[in-house]
Amino acid sequence: MGAIVLRLDRMMADRKISLNELSTEVGISKVNLSKLKTGKVSSIRFSTLSAICDALDCQPGDILEYDPDCEE
């Protein structure tokens, strides 16, 4: 069975924004944002996803990706 993979690190690199900058702009801790960036979470709140998309000027599909070959 596949898995949803977070591509936040790629989007942050594309936008040239640091973890500290995004953390401040989104209003979540660097620790939680780091967990999102590295994919070490099992869920994400829609409000957090909306804030990240707003800060990065992107769509949820730019951050979330379905990988049918990935094992959770």
4 alpha-carbon distance from chain centroid: 11
CATH number of 3-67: 1.10.260.40
Q: Considering the entire predicted model, what is its pTM?
A: 0.88
pLDDT digits (tens, 9 = 90+) for 15-68: 999 999 999 999 999 999 999 998 888 899 999 999 999 999 999 999 999 999
- How far is Cα 37 from Cα 23, in angstroms, rounded to an integer? 11
Q: Give the model's pLDDT for residue 65.
A: 92
Instruction: Spell out the SS3 assignment of the chain.
Output: CCEEEECHHHHHHHHCCCHHHHHHHHCCCHHHHHHHHHCCCCCCCHHHHHHHHHHHCCCHHHHEEEECCCCC
**Which two three-digit tokens encode residue 12?**
């942050």
